[in-house]
Amino acid sequence: MRLTVAQALVRFLSVQSVERDDQQHRFFAGCFGIFGHGNVAGIGQALLESGDEFPYYLARNEQAMVHTAVGYARMSNRLRAFACTSSVGPGATNMVTGAAVATTNRIPVLLLPGDVFATRRANPVLQELEDPTSLDVSVNDALRPVSKYFDRIWRPEQLPEAMLHAMRVLTDPAETGAVTLALPQDVQTEAWDYPDSLFEARVWRVRRPPPETQLIERLAKKLRTANRPIIVAGGGVIYSGATASLADLAAATGIPVAETQAGKGALRFDHTQSVGAIGATGTTAANEIARGADLVVGIGTRWSDFTTASHSVFQNPDVEIININVTPSDTAKLSALAIVADARAAIDELAVQLKEWRVPKAFEDEYGELAKRWDETVEAAYHLGHGPLPAQSEVVGAVEESSSDADVVVGAAGSLPGDLHKLWRTRDPKGYHVEYAFSCMGYEIAAGLGVKMAAPEREVYVMVGDGSYLMLNSELVTALQEGIKIIVVLVVNHGFQSIGALSESVGVERFGTAYRRRDASGQLAGAKLPIDLAANAASLGATVLRATSIDELRDALKVARANVETTVVHIETDPMVAAPDSASWWDVPVAEVATRDATIGALRRYETEHTIQREYFRPTT
């Protein structure tokens, strides 16, 4: 079949499917893109010809379209994905941040950036970054370190093998992330006689590697002799569809379950064995149990520094750690006993091994009381009655109380992820969608669009601070163009107040974190800037509702739910009111030499605090 490279690529992608647990469906939902001279004649022409076979969606920012693809794939448990195309130059480099988000979070997305001429007959082309040391380098090479697979298609006959390798990585739960196929703009338009067999429907099986029975038996034996075990559930539990299995295991054995950011929702918040979020943004219940745990079972977690509270959350000197993960590199962390396996397969086999066993009753009573106290803390934080501006915890409470069980909250950077991790009462495995692996400002609105595309039957609440909103609000236009409704709760506190609070703890006194004019001393400490983000959202076409109190916010949320188009709810909060403390720590070093009293005092505190860090080098066998 004689096709251009771009036509062959689109046709191949349109017939790729995945299968897991005997359920099969198409893998790609279509392609996001922004066209320029580097991709319009090739990929653009091919997408035009493909029509409904491979739908095209116009984005407004290349980074944002990758975030939308990530939101979609994550909401789909990594079983569906989008491609994203850009021109060569700034369009391609804009995708680097999005690619890093995808790879850090282990979410599949296919990037198709245009590239320089393979023939070099027009060098240097528009937007080409010239490298005097090599003519085969382009800006797309910046995507190499943030891609799980990278290839540049210099010749038409290279395409088939590259596409097969791309699909292998995208559908591998242990290897998935951003995949980049860089497409020289002249090669995109070149024709080649491709074999018809290349375009036959192809099914990729998403594997569930079983655990080694001997290791599960060893884990079960350790649990039977443990007095204070805890399970830490990560995103792998949700992606593998293991939440029901985990709920049954916890209920049958009484083992308490704590959740990472990606794993929040692995249990309902009111499950008897749920102790909530763990780590630096965790609950006092989970962190108290973790401190004294004698056996920790991590399932599907990559053990970020927030999850481990910078290696301080597990304080028992005799603690043993066992990791279950589909990704081998994650199982080796914290000197753990490594069990490489799919989360659901491992949990189901472990449940068989633990029949008739349960943790001590006194331990259940202890963590149950701690969880009850934390729930009371959450309730109080939801209803502080603070004024004249409400606290952010009250905003979280109002949004949570307005949502139904199946609705989804989306967040990313700033103070909101921490508050949501502690306070949001998750009632559905896919009801909580916070990007905190890369903590990328600007992710929220774009990802919310992707979440809604993956689950149109759910209401999607995007909670975003003014700092993140200003970085990437462009996809409000895409949502309106496509008729895709999201509810954006825009929390305004006039700056980067999360880092403002952090800077105080390290003696930097909120320097450079507020939206203020320069004062007479030359510092950014003068009057607040007259920024009206509600007016900005309205100018993009969104319906905008302003709330000045929690009661007005509740009313606005009712209106937003009834609306059929994207609605932005604008509310100001008091950034000086913190959410309840997690009774944990996060390692942010302090300057060792300083003249300011605040920094000197912070260093003294740091020198004391960091002594709680543990070196988890003792092997678990």
Q: Which amino acid, 454?
A: A
Same domain for 109 and 186? Answer: yes
pLDDT score recorded for residue 426: 97
The last residue of a domain, from among 205, 239, 267: 205
Same domain for 201 and 244? Answer: no
Residues forming a β-bridge with 299:
233, 324
Q: Is-above-0.85 flag for pTM?
A: yes
pLDDT score recorded for residue 132: 86
Same domain for 299 and 348? Answer: yes
Structural domain contains residue 427: yes
Chain segment 472-489, per-residue pLDDT in tens: 999 999 999 999 999 999
Q: For residue 594, what are its two tokens? A: 């300083």
Looking up residue 443, the CATH number of its domain turns out to be: 3.40.50.970
More confident of the two residues 509 and 327: 327
From the list 560, 434, 430, the residue with the least C-alpha distance to 486 is 560
Same domain for 327 and 453? Answer: no
pLDDT score recorded for residue 374: 98
Would you say residue 523 has pLDDT above 90?
no
Same domain for 317 and 413? Answer: no
Would you say residue 501 has pLDDT above 90?
no
Structural domain contains residue 504: no
- Which phi and psi angles does 549 have, rounded to 5°? -150, 170
Q: Which of 112-121, 129-138, 447-456 has the highest mean pLDDT?
A: 447-456
- Under the banding of pLDDT at 50, 70 and 90, the label for residue 619 is confident
Would you say residue 136 has pLDDT above 90?
no
pLDDT score recorded for residue 514: 87
- Under the banding of pLDDT at 50, 70 and 90, the label for residue 172 is very high
Query: Which segments of 149-273 are extended strands (E)?
Result: 149-152, 178-184, 191-193, 202-205, 229-233, 257-259
Chain segment 577-605, per-residue pLDDT in tens: 989 999 999 999 999 999 999 998 999 99
The last residue of a domain, from among 346, 373, 400: 373
The last residue of a domain, from among 340, 373, 406: 373
Polymer length in residues for the chain:
621
pLDDT score recorded for residue 387: 86
Chain segment 224-269, per-residue pLDDT in tens: 999 999 999 999 999 999 999 999 999 999 999 999 999 999 999 9
CA 462, CA 465: separation in Å to the nearest integer?
10
Q: For residue 437, what are its two tokens? A: 């692996």
Same domain for 115 and 222? Answer: no
CA 469, CA 482: separation in Å to the nearest integer?
20
Would you say residue 500 has pLDDT above 90?
no
Domain count, the chain: 3
Chain segment 20-67, per-residue pLDDT in tens: 999 999 999 999 999 999 999 999 999 999 999 999 999 999 999 999
CA 189, CA 191: separation in Å to the nearest integer?
7
Structural domain contains residue 415: yes
Would you say residue 502 has pLDDT above 90?
no
Q: For residue 189, what are its two tokens? A: 């338009």
Print the domain residue range for 142. 2-205
Burial of 214 (0-12, 13-18, 19+ CB in 10 A): exposed
Same domain for 349 and 397? Answer: no
pLDDT score recorded for residue 498: 82
Dihedral angle over CA of 470, 474, 477, 483, nearest 10: -100
Structural domain contains residue 161: yes
Same domain for 334 and 435? Answer: no
Same domain for 221 and 314? Answer: yes
More confident of the two residues 620 and 442: 442
Same domain for 342 and 475? Answer: no
Same domain for 177 and 324? Answer: no
Structural domain contains residue 90: yes
pLDDT score recorded for residue 480: 96
From the list 146, 172, 206, the residue with the least C-alpha distance to 19 is 206
pLDDT score recorded for residue 617: 80
Residue-averaged pLDDT of the chain: 96
- Under the banding of pLDDT at 50, 70 and 90, the label for residue 271 is very high
- Under the banding of pLDDT at 50, 70 and 90, the label for residue 522 is confident
Would you say residue 116 has pLDDT above 90?
yes
Question: Alpha carbon 573 to chain centroid distance?
Answer: 25
- Under the banding of pLDDT at 50, 70 and 90, the label for residue 620 is confident
Percent of the chain with pLDDT over 70: 100
Q: Are 78 and 107 in contact (CB under 8 A)?
A: yes
Of 294-298, 379-383, 566-570, 586-590, which gets the smallest average pLDDT? Answer: 586-590
pLDDT score recorded for residue 131: 84
Looking up residue 220, the CATH number of its domain turns out to be: 3.40.50.1220
Structural domain contains residue 517: no
Percent of the chain with pLDDT over 90: 89
Same domain for 176 and 271? Answer: no
- Under the banding of pLDDT at 50, 70 and 90, the label for residue 125 is confident
Would you say residue 504 has pLDDT above 90?
no
Structural domain contains residue 520: no
pLDDT score recorded for residue 503: 85
Structural domain contains residue 585: no
